[in-house]
Amino acid sequence: MPKSDYPLVIVLGAVFAAIGAFAAIPDSWPRLRTLSFALFMGTFGLVCAALTLTPLHPAADGTWTIGGIPGFITGGPIPWWARLVAGFFAIVCLGTAALGLWGLLRDLLAGRRCE
């Protein structure tokens, strides 16, 4: 695998590790399941946000920078409709992650049990 693919592998690894942890954690640990699901939604939302905020014009070498990684995409620009879809998913996923973390934090500070 070329060195240029490492950032993509790290990002996708974080997304799939979080959802894999959610699937593997037993139902008797609701707080940890909530945390892993919130991490999944947050990482997927960040991926969608990075795609939405990709520059409209390529760099001098003809590649696009996504998430601060130059040369991440070597093909054409991301179409406007794909940016709208990715932006929608970014808002939904990041909002879900924030609400999940807020509920988890509120539950932990109140000392209540997650049911």
Q: Which tens digits make up the pLDDT trace of 84-96?
A: 999 999 999 999 9
Report the distance separating Cα 86 and Cα 104, nearest Å. 27
What's the pLDDT score for residue 36?
95
Predicted local confidence at residue 35, as pLDDT: 95
How confident is the model at residue 109, as a pLDDT?
87
pLDDT at res. 74 = 63
Residue 82 clears pLDDT 80, i.e. is over it: yes
State residue 100 phi and psi, 5-degree precision: -65, -45
Q: Is the pLDDT of residue 6 over 60?
A: yes
